[in-house]
């Protein structure tokens, strides 16, 4: 399922079965510097599978550089029918060191948070950080509870 990153394109980490109803390719707008550490890829893939399982949502997850935007992760606006979510591994590693949070927890909660933004868009609600955070916390509670 993992496709190798070529020419610095974002690396596909997880893709729920089913065809997207859009053709957005994050390689149009984002890139990745070299292949990420296999251990990080494994943790991110497990996180995606867990979030997909408890949320029941389809989505695709990619590793990509987001340092220009200075964020940990991003939901790509306009992809709500089949959300495209990007994770920045370096930003996660730095944040996990800074806040002393395990990487698997950080990956799951950021994926859940971005998925929350996708649901807001799909349901025609305004983008709301608190709502996205609460959605991520509910998913995390299902995973760890
Ligand atoms: Zn947010």
Of the pLDDT bands very low, low, confident and very high (cuts 50, 70, 90), residue 35 is: confident
Q: Both tokens of residue 62? A: 């990619």
Of the pLDDT bands very low, low, confident and very high (cuts 50, 70, 90), residue 69 is: confident
Q: Both tokens of residue 95? A: 């944040």
Protein residues near ligand 1, an ion, with CB under 5 A: 129, 132
The structural domains of the chain, with segments of one domain joined by +, span: 11-144
How far does residue 51's CA lie from ligand 1's centre (Å)?
Answer: 16
Question: Count of CB atoms within 10 A of residue 104's CB?
Answer: 16
Q: How far apart are CA 28 and CA 44, in angstroms?
A: 22
How far does residue 53's CA lie from ligand 1's centre (Å)?
Answer: 21
Of the pLDDT bands very low, low, confident and very high (cuts 50, 70, 90), residue 1 is: very low
Q: Per-residue pLDDT for 50 more than 80?
A: yes
Q: What b/e readout covers 44-72, taking b as 16+ CB neighbours within 10 angstroms?
A: bbebbebbbebbebbbbbbbbbbeeeeeb
Domain over 11-144 is classified CATH 3.30.1330: no
How far does residue 49's CA lie from ligand 1's centre (Å)?
Answer: 20
Query: What pLDDT, in 10s, does the model give residues 103-118?
Result: 999 999 999 999 999 9
Interval 84-100 mean pLDDT: 95
Give yes or no for a contact between 85 and 75, defined as CB atoms under 8 angstroms apart.
yes
Give yes or no for a contact between 72 and 91, defined as CB atoms under 8 angstroms apart.
yes
């Amino acid at each position: 399922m993992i496709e190798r990153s070529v020419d610095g394109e974002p690396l596909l980490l997880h893709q729920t079965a089913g065809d997207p109803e859009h053709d957005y390719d994050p390689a149009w707008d984002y890139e990745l510097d070299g292949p990420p550490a296999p251990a990080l890829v494994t943790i991110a893939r497990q996180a995606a599978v867990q979030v997909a399982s408890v949320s029941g949502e389809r989505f695709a997850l990619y590793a990509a550089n987001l340092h220009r935007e200075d964020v940990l992760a991003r939901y790509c606006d306009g992809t709500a029918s089949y959300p495209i979510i990007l994770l920045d591994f370096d930003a996660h590693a730095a944040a996990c060191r800074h806040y002393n949070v395990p990487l698997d927890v950080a990956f799951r909660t950021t994926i859940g948070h971005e998925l929350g933004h996708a649901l807001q868009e799909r349901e025609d609600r305004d983008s709301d950080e608190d709502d996205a955070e609460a959605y991520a916390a509910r998913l995390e509670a299902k995973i760890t509870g």
